[in-house]
Structure 1
Amino acid sequence: MKILIADDDQISRMITKAAVEQSGHDCIVAVDGDSAWQLFQEHSPEAVVTDLMMPGLNGLDLCRAIRAAGKDRYTYVILVTSHGSRKDVLAGMEAGADDYVTKPLDPFSLHIRLLAAQRITSLHADLARYRSALTEQARTDPLTKVHNRLKLSEDLGELHDGSHGYCLAMVDVDNFKSYNDIYGHQAGDAALVAIADTLASQVRATDAVYRFGGEEFLLLLREQSAATADLVMERVRSAVHDLTIEHSGDPDGVLTISAGIAASPGGHPAGTEHLLREADLALYAAKAAGRNRVAMADSFHAE
């Protein structure tokens, strides 16, 4: 572990540092509470061994600051007291400390507490990874592995200020019901996965692809004008066509997509619900015009 030692007494620092290093851990040393807080922010140590009484931030203040920081990684705090009074120990625990040792420091006692610290911080790290994985899973379509509508709602919510232009492109797989009828739902699922992968591969890392429902996808194209979004979606449409997924029930003989685009120019925010309706209407127009094409919402069409 990386351990921060905070103590204004040089001899105590040396004893604590030696005990920590003997236990096989790396040390960062601070001579007072203020420098300890600065080093904590810079290095994010797994554990802190801090004296109770120090210039600047005392041990209790340092504990409170660490807990208030709310970092993803849990920091195990061991408070060092001069006499281990119940009042000091209780104050330390209430301030956010996990354990305490008394001066003069017993290296064995510190070693035992660092073993506990290692177990606790490892457990918290595992829990943080699980939470992150669950958060990602809740926002990912299980079949296609692109984003789902929950993630779409969150991302659209971040665009409410209208300071940057963006486009929404509604995409639908043409004649997909007949594809499922002819080839079966397993083949239909495989086709959706291939199309989703193609959509994701044809846009920038700053853009996003969402499964909107069934055979519908939505693309969020950040900082794109109507004209540039049209170019992007023509490239996407062509890439899907080039997959040459056989479809005997389609006039083209392969699976194709249609897309409708709505644009929100920066500085003139349009509600996301309105843009979604505009993109859906444009998609309907693309379908009505013969499918396998891209249409632009008239009310947002670039001059």
Structure 2
Amino acid sequence: MKVLVADDDPGSLMVARAAVERSGHDCLAAADGDQAWALYLEHQPDVVVTDRVMPGMDGLALCRAIREREEDLYTYVVLLTSQGSREDILAGLKAGADDYVTKPLDPFVLQARLLVALRVTTLHADLAHYRRVLARQARTDPLTGLHNRLKLSEDLEQLHQWSVRYGERYSLAMCDVDNFKTYNDLYGHPAGDQALRAVAEALLGSVRKSDGVYRFGGEEFLLVLPKQSVSGAKTLMERALDAVRNLAIEHAGDPSGQLRLSAGISAFTAEHRVDAVTLLGEADAALYAAKARGRNRVELARQSG
């Protein structure tokens, strides 16, 4: 572990540092609260052992600052207090300390506290890891590996707010696999799943790194294209449709004899400053227009053309 020790008493600081290093941990030392806070921000230690009374930021203020800043990982805080100071102990725990050690400092006691701290910080690190994994799973389509509707709503809201604030444009492209129900009827759902994964890969290979590709539902996909003009979005989508054609997936239920894709595009521009929900509706309407005009094509929303 990385342990930060803060104490304005040189003797106590030396004893604490020796106990930390004897336990096999890396030690950072601070002679006052302000220095401790600066070291905390720079190094993000796993454990902080801090005196209650110090020049500058005292131990209670340091505890509060640590708790207010924490996001994912947890810092275990041990408060050093005067012998028998119950008020200091309660105040420290209320401020966010996890444990306390009375002074004069006993190295054995501190080493024992560090063993507890190791268990607790390891547990918190494991929990943080599992939270991240679950968060990714909740925002990922299990079939294609693309982002799902939840992630789309988060990303699109953020992009829209940013575009409104800075006057940037962006485009949306709603895509749909042509005659997909017929494909499933002819070849079976496992083949349909495989086809959707192939289409997802083709779409990912057609966009820029800054673009987002989402499974919108069923055989529908949505592409979010930051800072992309309507003409640029149309060129990109025509390239994406070519990529799907190049997959050469047989589809006896399509007039072309192969799996094809249709797409509709809408855009947020200086002349068309509507909300994201409206843009989604416009892209969807453009997709339906592409279907009505023979499929296997890209159409622009009337408001974006």
1:1-303 to 2 correspondence within 5 Å? 1-161=1-161, 162=164, 163-266=167-270, 269-301=273-305
Aligned length in residues: 301
Whether the 8 Å contact between 2:3 and 2:47 is mirrored in structure 1 is yes
- Seen in structure 2, the aligned counterparts of structure 1 residues 104 and 173 have a Cα distance that, compared at 3 Å, is same
Q: Deviations over 1:40-87 (max 9, x none)?
A: 111110000001110001111111111111331100000111214211
CA RMSD of aligned residues (A): 1.3
Unaligned regions of 5+ residues in structure 1, if any? none
Q: Deviations over 1:112-138 (max 9, x none)?
A: 110110110111111111111111111
Deviates most, 259-268 or 215-224: 259-268
Q: Deviations over 1:72-106 (max 9, x none)?
A: 11000001112142111111111111111122211
Measured after TM superposition, the shift of residue 268 of structure 1 is: 5.0
Supply the distance in 2 between the matched residues of 1:273 and 1:239 (Cα, whole angstroms).
28
Q: How high is the sequence identity, in percent, across the aligned residues?
A: 62
Supply the distance in 2 between the matched residues of 1:291 and 1:190 (Cα, whole angstroms).
21
Supply the distance in 2 between the matched residues of 1:71 and 1:3 (Cα, whole angstroms).
18
Measured after TM superposition, the shift of residue 189 of structure 1 is: 0.8
Q: Deviations over 1:206-249 (max 9, x none)?
A: 21111111111111011100011111111111111111111122
Q: TM-score, normalised by structure 1?
A: 0.96
Supply the distance in 2 between the matched residues of 1:261 and 1:223 (Cα, whole angstroms).
14
Whether the 8 Å contact between 1:3 and 1:48 is mirrored in structure 2 is yes
Unaligned regions of 5+ residues in structure 2, if any? none
Whether the 8 Å contact between 1:244 and 1:254 is mirrored in structure 2 is yes
Supply the distance in 2 between the matched residues of 1:239 and 1:75 (Cα, whole angstroms).
49
- Seen in structure 2, the aligned counterparts of structure 1 residues 267 and 298 have a Cα distance that, compared at 3 Å, is closer
What residue identity is the alignment partner of 2:154?
E
What residue identity is the alignment partner of 1:55?
P
Whether the 8 Å contact between 1:160 and 1:269 is mirrored in structure 2 is no
Whether the 8 Å contact between 2:272 and 2:303 is mirrored in structure 1 is no
Q: TM-score, normalised by structure 2?
A: 0.95
Partner-residue secondary structure (3-state), 1:299: coil
Deviates most, 20-29 or 77-86: 77-86
Measured after TM superposition, the shift of residue 159 of structure 1 is: 3.1
- Seen in structure 2, the aligned counterparts of structure 1 residues 170 and 22 have a Cα distance that, compared at 3 Å, is same
What residue identity is the alignment partner of 2:5?
I
